[in-house]
Amino acid sequence: RMDQALLLVRNELPAPGLRLAARSGSCHQCLYQFLAFVPPSNGSLRKPGTASVMVDTQHPLTLLLNSSVGDTELCKIQYHFGEFGNYSLVVKTLSASTKTVSCDLIINEGPINSYLPILFAFLVYMGILAVLIVGRLFMKIDPVRNWVYKKLNPRETDRLINSELGSPNTTDLINCDPTPHLWSTASRQRLHSLDTFRGFSLVIMVFVNYGGGKYWFFKHESWNGKLHFPSALFSRFVFIMGTSIALSLSSMLRWGSSKLKVLRKILWRSFLLILLGIIVVNPNYCLGPLSWDNLRIPGVLQRLGFTYLVVAGLELLFTKAESGTWEALYPALQDILPYWPQWIIILMLEVTWLCLTFLLPVPGCPRGYLGPGGIGDFGNYPNCTGGAAGYIDRLLLGEKHIYQHPSSSVTYQTTMPYDPEGILGTINSIVIAFLGLQAGKITLFYKDQHKQIMCRFIIWSIIMGIISAILTKCSKEEGFIPINKNLWSISYVTTTGCFAFILLLLIYYLVDVKKLWSGAPFSYPGMNSILVYIGHEVFENYFPFKWKMQDSQSHAEHLTQNLAATTLWVIISYLLYRRRIFWKI
């Protein structure tokens, strides 16, 4: 099968037999797991005892061979097996007098290169990009450009986007700027970097949710771990939602909407997001409206809805119609000081998370436990998955109403249900959305001052990076609070916030400052993010997003299917953009 290799163990030692166990390199402080019993050799027939096992190829393995009597360790081997490889482990005595045992690993058949499909896909998409670049060069020819513009009618499309989705226009004033002035012609345009950032995160999220070609590095970390693309996707989406909140609320208030009217919109949008998450995107929706017994209550859209409600409510509550004296006295902090009550509330929320995480008594678990349970921590706390976070969800929501197959269940063999979108982690999703809100305020307060905006993005990324380095001690497992996407730990928030500011900086520079890139194709799904997300969940198992494979153990077929489905959603979002259809809730 994928991510497996065949290992044949040949035991040339006389009685007793051997016990083969293994431990994955990705499993921190885990117990060795029994794989097979290898019988002793038949001395009279000179026939070695043999046993065949399948071993994991995703991470390096440590193999441990013990005598079946007395549990004496004979040898220990660390090796990273290759996918579909065929190996032999020969156990024999080097010297009869000293009884020295040797364990030799032999490659019978070399593994395949399972990464070639990724290279081929990369070349295909680079070829498509080259064609688009050539097309753009042709667009510089006046007759060609005029004909295309006449067909596409982009001015009308941009007008609809800007008016419907809250882009600042020329007559709008920034009420929080001590020296307000009119937006320039360049400022009329919607901040395409936000759509590009959102769309980029969404496209990768769709690809990962569809399977990511069944590659292990496109899956979420089992528990603590390095921050890679899948682990940071949802947090980036939450971050850019916070940025959009700052821009959209500012636009609505400047257009004359009352705070009560805006509040009603916030409440309605939050309600719809939570409702869609529970009913439409819930994994049990296909069982019908009466399947409430096992309905998962937390989820991605549910967390987005509640996070939006809190962050948008905070912004609406403490927004000011006029600038105060603090901004004039400290212009470098004009995007922070007027909102000091918001910062106090966010800090109080974070203190609440810290207190519940490290001080709440959890039955049968050490106080402040952050581990995965199962076979982790040498099997001492098998039912403590997630510590206080898991306990709160199971207590308030019930075990049947949270996620039943967490990412820790494979590597750490956990049996307790645990929800990565649970109650306690929502506090830190509010924090990262608030960081995104701060990015939005920066673009408002320093409009058209590109250097100021980019410098502040850099400063915020440095601050977040320093906090992350302190919390994690720059290590995977040994920090005060490790990076953990399942727990949405504060170190996870500061680390993803650091990279979110950097990514937004790069996209903002390329798209809105230098205009070297239009943001396509990511900007199209970014403008219809809710439709694309819900659509890819609902139609996940339907053609043409999924079809029967000839070889279900082929990375190439899975990658082709997942990339095709993801690309199809990008095309759909582009067609909706062309027809000026933008689904808002």
| Catalytic residue set | 220
The helix/strand/coil state of 334 is coil
Q: Provide the token pair at 567.
A: 């690309």
Instruction: Confirm if 357 and 333 have CB atoms less than 8 A apart.
Output: no
In this structure, is the dihedral angle defined by the CA atoms of residues 370, 372, 378 and 379, taken in order, positive or negative? positive
- The number of angstroms, rounded, from the C-alpha of 371 to the middle of its chain's C-alpha atoms is 20
CB 219 within 8 A of CB 7: no
Q: What's the rounded Cα separation, in Å, for the pair 215 and 224?
A: 19
The bridge status of strand 49-56 relative to strand 61-67 is unpaired
**Residue 70 backbone dihedrals phi, psi, to 5 degrees:** 80, -10
Residue type at 211 in one-letter notation: G
Which residues lie closer than 8 Å to 515 by C-beta, 6 or more apart?
none
Query: Is the CB of residue 419 less than 8 Å from the CB of residue 403?
Result: yes
Q: What distance separates the 2 farthest-apart alpha carbons in the chain? A: 97
Cis peptide before 406 (omega within 30 of 0): no
Q: How far apart are CA 318 and CA 445, in angstroms?
A: 16
CA distances, 5 to each of 75, 81, 86, 107 (Å): 21, 7, 6, 11
Identify the helix (H) or strand (E) that includes residue 11: strand 4-11
Contacts of 223 (CB under 8 A, 6+ apart): 28, 371, 372, 376, 407, 408, 411, 412, 484, 486
Q: What are phi and psi of 543, to 5 degrees?
A: -65, 140
Whether 413 contacts 217, CB under 8 Å:
no
- End-to-end CA separation in angstroms for the chain: 43
Half-sphere exposure of 579 (CA within 13 A, CB side): 9
What is the distance between the alpha carbons of residues 288 and 48, in angstroms, rounded to a whole number?
57
Q: Which two tokens stand for residue 485?
A: 């996407």
The count of other CB atoms within 10 Å of the CB of residue 98 is: 8
Q: Give one DSSP letter per residue of 551-573, joined into a string.
A: -TT-HHHHHHHHHHHHHHHHHHH
Are 244 and 502 spatial neighbours (Cβ–Cβ below 8 Å)? no
CA 43 to chain centre: 56
SS (H, E, C) 403-455: CCCCCHHHHCCCCCCCCCCCHHHHHHHHHHHHHHHHHHHHHHHCCCCHHHHHH
Distance from C-alpha of 461 to C-alpha of 495, rounded to nearest angstrom: 9
